[in-house]
Structure 1
Amino acid sequence: MADPFLIGDGMTGGYGPVDILHNCTISVEKGQIAVIVGPNGAGKSTAMKAVFGMLNLRGGAVRLNGEDITRLTPQARVRKGMGFVPQTHNIFTSMTVEENLEMGAFIRTDDTIRDTIEQIYTLFPILKQKRNQAAGELSGGQRQQVAVGRALMTQPSVLMLDEPTAGVSPIVMDELFDRIIEIARTGISILMVEQNARQALEIADKGYVLVQGANRFTDTGKALMADPEVRRSFLGG
């Protein structure tokens, strides 16, 4: 059977001598949304970083569109089509919104960068209004839009988001999730870690519940939402 578009397959590894992930598998298909949820300390962000090449694996492999990229650096993975938005320190606060977006195009050599910026302004209209404002002066939700926009400037085939709605209001969270759905509809695969598990699983094609660095439940978002044990243990009933 062919691999999913992106897969971290049987990943075991961590930081130094301590393994945080234990035979953990995470994957996402083309144009779909996969969500990683679980309790604090479950290894959710570690799994994301492992897929992006930010820690060494002692076991398992990462493959993108059938190609083994396990040994590639994060920078090389960006050139292969992966975009990553970390939870914090994900914008240049002293630069304007537009300068942040331009920085996202650093690997590109084509002449359609301006077109991509306009596409991002269509996706996030508030950024167009504030394009000449320092990104550090924006609200939390607007900063996240800048961070996502900057990652989209590389024209990725996979967009990875670590806690994209952390610290934002419920209204802003809903709006961000709506934009994430729009991005996936363009054919970009979305892999994200999210604390707001219930809301994230509602938009997920596929969900992963991790516990202590290992897969505990894997299913469609809808199926996980309907699973009594998942609801009781991880979604507050």
Structure 2
Amino acid sequence: MAEPFLIGDRMTGGYGGADILHGCTVAVDKGEIAVIVGPNGAGKSTAMKAVFGMLDIQSGAVRLNGEDITRLTPQARVAKGMAFVPQTSNIFTSMSVEENLEMGAFLRRDDISGTIEEVYHLFPILKEKRRQAAGELSGGQRQQVAVGRALMTRPTVLMLDEPTAGVSPIVMDELFDRIIEVARTGISILMVEQNARQALEIADKGYVLVQGRNAYTDTGRALLADAEVRRTFLGG
């Protein structure tokens, strides 16, 4: 079998103290959505940050399109086509919506106007509010700015850490719809999500982590149908 487009393979590591990840593997294929779920403290965000190079892993490897990128800095990974949207502090609040998008294209040397229009097509409310300070927007709109800014790099992989944290169920559904649209353009989506049931409904692949280890790995649909997963992690 061909290796996934992006894989964090048997990663062990943490933030310098005791290891948080223990042989953890997460991966995503081209144009697919992979979701990392699990209880609080399971190492979900740590796994995501390890894949993006924000912490050193003691063992294991990260490979993108067959290339070992384990030792690359996060900035070098962005240049390779990875984009990461952290859960908090993910926009410039004093800048306008459009300035935030322009900042997302800082590595590019070509015309970015077409990509800005693509972001506005995906998130029409941002076009309407493009001159407004991003800090004045609602929580859901801020998340749209953060995702839009990441898309300005024209990534092959979009990584989202808790994209629906703190937003209403209606806004969550809308964000998930947009994430599906992004994946349909061929971009691989790897995301950590607290709203596990809803996230698995849109996931091609799901990873349930417990204490930094893979507890269950399957398609989103199969995990939702698994009685043990439902009982233990999804509230029945």
Say yes or no: TM over 0.5: yes
Aligned to 1:95: 95
Q: By how many angstroms is 1:17 displaced?
A: 2.6
- Partner Cα separation in structure 2 for residue 230 and residue 10 of structure 1: 22
Matched, 1:196 2:184: no
1:102-141 to 2 correspondence within 5 Å?
A: 102-111=102-111, 113-141=112-140
What amino acid is the match of 1:133? Q
Aligned to 2:206: 207
Q: By how many angstroms is 1:42 displaced?
A: 0.1
What amino acid is the match of 1:175? E
What amino acid is the match of 1:193? V
**TM-score, normalising length: structure 1:** 0.99
Aligned to 1:36: 36
Aligned to 2:165: 166
Aligned to 1:180: 179
Which ranges in structure 1 are unaligned for 5 or more consecutive residues?
Answer: none
Aligned to 2:8: 8
What amino acid is the match of 1:158? V
- Partner Cα separation in structure 1 for residue 18 and residue 30 of structure 2: 33
Matched, 1:223 2:218: no
What amino acid is the match of 2:56? N
Give the number of equivalent residue pairs. Answer: 236
**TM-score, normalising length: structure 2:** 1.00
- Partner Cα separation in structure 1 for residue 87 and residue 116 of structure 2: 22
Which ranges in structure 2 are unaligned for 5 or more consecutive residues?
Answer: none
SS in 1 for 2:159: strand
- Partner Cα separation in structure 2 for residue 105 and residue 23 of structure 1: 35
Aligned to 2:54: 54
SS in 2 for 1:164: coil
What amino acid is the match of 2:130? R
Cα deviation 1:19-48 (Å, max 9, x = unaligned): 000000000000000000000000000000
Q: By how many angstroms is 1:16 displaced?
A: 1.1
SS in 1 for 2:235: coil
Aligned to 1:72: 72
